[in-house]
Amino acid sequence: MSRPRKNQRAYHVVGTPRPKVDAYGKVTGRALYADDIMLPRMLYARLLRSPHAHARILSIDVRRALELPGVVAILTGEDLPQKFGILPSSQDELALAIDKVRYVGDPVAAVAALDPETLDEAMKLINVQYEELPALMSIDEALSHPEVKINEDARIGNIHKAVSYEFGDVEAGFADADYIREDWFYYEGNTHAPLEAHACVASWEPNPSDPVGGKLTLWSSTQTPHYVHRELSKVLKIPQSHIRVIAPPVGGGFGGKSDPFSHEICACELSRRTGRPVKITCTREEVFLLHRGRHPVKMWIKTGVKRDGTLTAMHFRSFLDGGAYGSYGVATTYYTGVLQTVTYQLPCYKFEGMRLFTNKPPCGPKRGHGTTQPRYAVEAHMDKLAHDLGLDPVAFRRHNLIKPYTRTINGLRVTSCALGECLDQVVAHSNWHEFHAAKAAPSKNGQKHDPIKCGLGIAASSYICGAGKPIYWNDLPHSAVQIKLDRGGGITVYCGATDIGQGSTSILAYVVAEELGVQPEQIHLETADTTLTPVDLGSYSSRVTFMAGNAAIAAARKLRDQIFMVAAEHLQLTAERLTAADGIIYAEDDPGLALPFVKAVQMAEARFGALVSSGSYAPPEGIHGNYKGAGVGPSPAYSYSACAAQVAVDLETGELTVEKLWLAHDVGQSINPLLVAGQVEGGAYMGFGEAVMEQQIFRKGRHKIPSLLDYKLATTLDTPEIETILVEIPDLEGPFGGKEAGQGPLNPVIPAIANAVYNAIGVRIDETPITPDKILRAIRAVTDTRTTQRAQIAPVAAPSPWPTRLITWRPEQDTVQAQPVPAKGGDD
Amino acid sequence: MRELITLRVNGERHEVAVVPHHTLLEVLREDLGLIGTKHGCELGECGACTVLIDGAPVLSCLTLPVEVQECEITTIEGLEHNGKLHPLQETFAELGAAQCGYCTPGMILSGVALLNACPAPTREQMREALAGNLCRCTGYTKIYEAIDAAVQRLATADVSAAHERGKG
């Protein structure tokens, strides 16, 4: 890891590498994950899932299973008839199917028993009669068979959502162009595969004197306890005040634990019915079926460009394979289009997207949510444009970069942007110019017939630092933090933020420690508990460092003001002269004038009473356009990344080796550079796997490879060396200038590898993953005219005209220059 | 029907009544409460359930307890002695090698077996030794760095221990 820029401000905690606050629990086996929770009299439960991709349920007979000794309770669809879903606009899921199943894995019954062995038997004794229906397993099949209606939420045929936008005058933009190019790309979907399978324990505590009848606690491996809380209340008809959702340490999520799930609801209902704690731990196969992973997307791009490389117009279309239910899919559909403008400056832009229902596990958000697929397509397309125009791909990108503190043609406010610096860094570290000069030079003797061809490719990207709008419309804070100080010097921080391994709990500790001038290890943290902690919307959209970090700063500053006030009086100086570090409050200009933090806390408690504070954060207003649908894409800031990939391709076998990845990431300011580098490396690793090996294949309606052995994930033997470069130019609104690192760095990796493959062999693959068979086929398609051409990517039955009303919009002239807006602090 | 067997785990002797077809993973977690051993697949695919059996890394989800009654079993809980962590545990924590932490116990135990067999492994040797332990968070980079740091720490500890012995 390298960090070319030094901190612009002296911090004591921020910016220094240090262990995560929960690291020791994890390396000693002490950390309690959801499945590690075992309660007295706990029952085990499991869901019976559909073996058919699409079928009508004729009858479900559970009598024989109920009679089995050890079975305590069974639920079927009618027991939980309330529909739910993560988005208010996609309320299409049932805890257990009632009339119809829509994918292999759709839950139909839930059984609670004394032990897992009894569950095995009980599952076999439930008799479900199905009438099979035709299953549609691809974008093309969904478009070709509108008469087979998979999901009633589809507006036309199997089109779940269609959107259409034009920003600025696209026709004029293309008329301005000296050169226009069109391309089709296909991004195959893939799944998160967190190492921890989804698990939960529900415990209902009856209270006959409470009209509600009792209180419910759910421990679940979820990224979004707040949304699970809301959906449980809705489906179970229990007031939110009587439900407590706790996310214990989560063993990886990557977006796969962001939805409210059937198993969570069923565990709660089984606990309420039996009066006993109930645990459900999904099997690895079930994790593949729960999915909510990366949408397969077909994409078409048409771009106009001037001879000098200036972009004049872009028209982008996406077709998303959504699987059987809505999940986050409406947001995903928007995300395939809205961020194209945040990387390169586009004077006009047209975006049409559509999501199709298919009979597959529902797709949802995976790291990079909806932006990874178009980033791959746009960056490969940009490389082709540069090649066509005879321009250097780096210079072409640099020429078109978005400028910091501007507004995009679709109305998004951009603040800090160090993408140019990121590109320069990966170019320098990868010896880009030397590599390409050597490649262009005439080959030496003996190398001519070497079947191994090397290539170096590059790509750029951007990502949101948190969704600018909450999932359900409200004016409430997106994140809030409470801090309590006690006279012993104890500091307790309460925040709903959910640590899924990314380090959000640690970030809270660092931020509060920096503000109060103490060591992070001194701070006690209570997180991700809907009863104990104030709201945080969840670990999605790379929002936590930015939003919970700012909320923590706001809360800590209030306490610091109180402590500094009494310390200043005691030391007989003005509070402005004071600073604090390592548990000592002292005059910055005369460190001899000092007071221990503990003493100051005692004096402040004597003066003000018990010391508590709160702070909250909501993104600023006016960071997006004023058109319908403008709520997806705005963010208080955007992170930027660039990747260079070096590959070697064997022309004879098609084998692709990614030798090294260089990744420069504009993080604004790292709160802990060790954790930022960890996120960058993890993102690069995950992008690498998506680019070259992960395959989401279905056969006869079934997931073909629902196991960690056959679904290829990169091991130590596969993973290339990853060199991380952190670019730190503080953002004016980020916490200490910080921006996200969890998702953005994944995005440029896939196109950088794709572009490197082209650089190596001179042939484009244009779909992911880039596997040896596709490489060989692509090579043969150009060298051997007898072989068939590659399959056409364009959908066979694309609707024309686009089946939704076109929304046209352009920004007002005076809003093009965006002014930094100070972060909105909350009240006590 | 349960069967009474004896297991030696982390230097302690346990008499356990086990369901004979339950795996060592299940018995460690559910009968002995050693939840530090994780399960990612229960099919021998991910390495999260790795424990040491007579010092060798073994997948506890593919092992039956009756087979290992005569063996010394080490789980993550057994690496810590009187509150003092194994150097690999320390460096995994210090250098960010544990993110979500779910692969970490298995990864550390595979690392311990590697260092016992090969006190100064090359990157290639690390790749070979850890190839059966999937990690979805780190990209493995920080894990290699933690092993490098532990090698240094163990070497220094050996030198100072030798020094101590020399003085005695």
**What pLDDT digit, counting tens, does each position of A526-575 carry?**
999 999 999 999 999 999 999 999 999 999 999 999 999 999 999 999 99
| CA angle in degrees (0–180, nearest 5) for A532-A536-A541 | 150
Contacting residues of A for B128, CB less than 8 Å apart: 716-717
Mutate to test the interface with B, among A2, A16, A18, A28 (most CBs of B within 10 A): A28
**Same domain for B94 and B39:** no
Averaged pLDDT score across all residues of chain B: 95
Write out residues 277-336 of A within 8 Å (CB-CB) of B.
Answer: 283-284
Residue A819 has pLDDT above 70, yes or no: no
Beta bridge partners, A407, equal A413
Q: Does the residue A298 lie in any domain?
A: no
Token readout for A440 is 């262009």
User: By the CB < 8 Å criterion, does A690 face chain B?
Assistant: no
Task: Provide the 3-class DSSP secondary structure of residue A244.
Answer: strand
Contact A501 B137 (CB under 8 A): yes
Task: Identify the CA nearest to A483 among candidates A581, A610, A672.
Answer: A610
What CATH number is attached to the domain comprising A592?
3.30.365.10
- Residue where a domain terminates, one of B79, B111, B137: B79
Distance CA A642, CA A463 (A): 12
Write out residues 463-482 of A within 8 Å (CB-CB) of B.
Answer: none
Mean pLDDT check: name the lowest of A7-11, A40-44, A64-68, A172-176.
A7-11
Contacting residues of B for A20, CB less than 8 Å apart: 93, 96, 98
| Segment A713-722 mean pLDDT | 98
Distance CA B92, CA B109 (A): 12
Whether A259 and A90 have beta carbons less than 8 Å apart is answered as: no
Write out residues 519-578 of A within 8 Å (CB-CB) of B.
Answer: none
- Give pLDDT, residue B162: 72
Distance CA B12, CA B10 (A): 5
Distance CA A126, CA A149 (A): 28
Contacting residues of A for B76, CB less than 8 Å apart: 27-29
Task: Identify the CA nearest to A676 among candidates A738, A632, A619.
Answer: A738
CA torsion, ordered A353, A357, A358, A359, to nearest 10 deg = 160
Classify residue A818 by its DSSP letter. P
Contacting residues of A for B10, CB less than 8 Å apart: none
**Same domain for B91 and B46:** no
Residue A6 has pLDDT above 60, yes or no: no
User: By the CB < 8 Å criterion, does A34 face chain B?
Assistant: no
CA distance B116 to chain A (A): 19
Q: Does the residue A515 lie in any domain?
A: yes
For A282-411, where are the E strands, in sequence order?
297-305, 311-321, 349-356, 406-407
Distance CA A185, CA A794 (A): 8
The DSSP secondary structure of B29-81, one letter per residue, reads IIIS--TTS--S-SSSSS-TTEEEETTEEEEGGG--GGGGTTSEEE-GGGG-B
- Give pLDDT, residue A346: 98
User: By the CB < 8 Å criterion, does B126 face chain A?
Assistant: yes
Whether A544 and A510 have beta carbons less than 8 Å apart is answered as: no
Distance CA A737, CA A514 (A): 13
- Give pLDDT, residue B166: 61
The answer for A567, left when phi > 0, alpha when psi is -120 to 50, beta otherwise, is alpha
The answer for A324, left when phi > 0, alpha when psi is -120 to 50, beta otherwise, is alpha
- Give pLDDT, residue A9: 60
Beta strands A311-321; A349-356: pairing state = parallel
**Same domain for B144 and B115:** yes
User: By the CB < 8 Å criterion, does B81 face chain A?
Assistant: no
For residue A687, give the chain B residue with the closest CA. B139
Total of domains in chain A: 1
For residue A724, give the chain B residue with the closest CA. B141
pLDDT in tens, A648-689: 999 999 999 999 999 999 999 999 999 999 999 999 999 999
**Same domain for B98 and B30:** no
Contacting residues of B for A284, CB less than 8 Å apart: 40-43, 45-46
pLDDT in tens, A567-588: 999 999 999 999 999 999 999 9
Q: Within 13 Å, how many C-alpha atoms sit on residue A662's CB side?
A: 21
Which amino acid, B38? K
Token readout for A182 is 């069109």
Contact B139 A722 (CB under 8 A): yes
- Residue where a domain terminates, one of B31, B54, B79: B79
For A127-221, where are the E strands, in sequence order?
127-132, 159-167, 179-187, 199-206, 214-220
Q: Does the residue A498 lie in any domain?
A: yes
Contact B93 A709 (CB under 8 A): no
Distance CA B105, CA B128 (A): 18
Contact A713 B99 (CB under 8 A): no
Residue A7 has pLDDT above 50, yes or no: no
Q: Within 13 Å, how many C-alpha atoms sit on residue A41's CB side?
A: 9
**Same domain for B69 and B93:** no
Distance CA A339, CA A310 (A): 19
Residue A425 has pLDDT above 90, yes or no: yes
pLDDT bucket at A798, cuts 50 / 70 / 90: confident
User: By the CB < 8 Å criterion, does B125 face chain A?
Assistant: no
**Same domain for B121 and B61:** no
User: By the CB < 8 Å criterion, does A120 face chain B?
Assistant: no
- Give pLDDT, residue B157: 84
Beta bridge partners, A662, equal A644, A723
**Same domain for B107 and B141:** yes
- Give pLDDT, residue A702: 96
pLDDT in tens, B116-134: 999 999 999 999 999 999 9
pLDDT in tens, A432-491: 999 999 999 887 655 567 999 999 999 999 999 999 999 998 999 999 999 999 999 999
Whether A109 and A62 have beta carbons less than 8 Å apart is answered as: yes
Distance CA A665, CA A725 (A): 6
Q: Does the residue A252 lie in any domain?
A: no
What CATH number is attached to the domain comprising B144?
1.10.150.120
CA distance B34 to chain A (A): 8
Nearest to A195 among B40, B80, B95 (CB): B40
Which is more confident, A145 or A822? Answer: A145
User: By the CB < 8 Å criterion, does B48 face chain A?
Assistant: yes
Residue A789 has pLDDT above 70, yes or no: no
pLDDT in tens, A319-336: 999 999 999 999 999 999
Query: Edge-to-edge strand order for the sheet containing A824-825?
Result: A523-527, A491-495, A479-485, A611-618, A824-825
Distance CA B147, CA A695 (A): 32
Mutate to test the interface with B, among A196, A690, A716 (most CBs of B within 10 A): A716
The DSSP secondary structure of A104-147, one letter per residue, reads TT-EEEEEEESSHHHHHHHHHH-EEEEEE-----SHHHHHH-TT
Nearest to A681 among B39, B41, B142 (CB): B142
- Give pLDDT, residue A787: 54
Whether A299 and A377 have beta carbons less than 8 Å apart is answered as: yes
Handedness of CA A205, A209, A213, A217 (dihedral sign): negative
Residue A791 has pLDDT above 90, yes or no: no
Contacting residues of A for B34, CB less than 8 Å apart: 29
Contact B96 A22 (CB under 8 A): no
pLDDT bucket at B1, cuts 50 / 70 / 90: confident
Q: Does the residue A730 lie in any domain?
A: no
**Same domain for B110 and B126:** yes
Q: What is the share, in percent, of chain B residues with pLDDT greater than 90?
A: 91
Contact A682 B136 (CB under 8 A): yes
CA distance A213 to chain B (A): 32
| Segment A32-37 mean pLDDT | 98
Contacting residues of B for A719, CB less than 8 Å apart: 139-140
| Segment A142-154 mean pLDDT | 97
CA distance B153 to chain A (A): 17
**Same domain for B98 and B68:** no
The answer for A517, left when phi > 0, alpha when psi is -120 to 50, beta otherwise, is left
Distance CA A510, CA A160 (A): 43
Task: Provide the 3-class DSSP secondary structure of residue A779.
Answer: helix
ipTM value for the complex: 0.97
Contact B43 A684 (CB under 8 A): no
Q: How many CB atoms lie within 10 A of CB A441?
A: 8
**Same domain for B66 and B35:** yes
Distance CA A827, CA A60 (A): 53
The pTM is what?
0.96
Averaged pLDDT score across all residues of chain A: 95
Q: Does the residue A56 lie in any domain?
A: no
**Same domain for B120 and B49:** no
Q: Where in the sequence is the domain holding B59, given as residue range(s)?
A: 3-79
Distance CA A203, CA A39 (A): 9
Nearest to A709 among B39, B45, B131 (CB): B45
Handedness of CA B13, B14, B18, B22 (dihedral sign): negative
Contact B41 A708 (CB under 8 A): yes
Q: Does the residue A190 lie in any domain?
A: no
Q: Does the residue A599 lie in any domain?
A: yes
Residue A513 has pLDDT above 50, yes or no: yes
pLDDT bucket at A822, cuts 50 / 70 / 90: very low
**Same domain for B138 and B113:** yes
pLDDT bucket at A783, cuts 50 / 70 / 90: confident
Residue A306 has pLDDT above 60, yes or no: yes
Distance CA B51, CA B69 (A): 14
| Segment A48-53 mean pLDDT | 98
- Residue where a domain terminates, one of B79, B97, B116: B79
Distance CA A267, CA A282 (A): 12
Query: Edge-to-edge strand order for the sheet containing A243-246?
Result: A71-76, A107-113, A43-49, A278-281, A199-206, A214-220, A243-246
Total of domains in chain B: 2
Residues 6+ apart with CB under 8 A from B48: A195, B38, B39, B40, B41, B102, B103, B105, B106, B133, B134
Distance CA B77, CA A231 (A): 38
Contact B134 A715 (CB under 8 A): yes
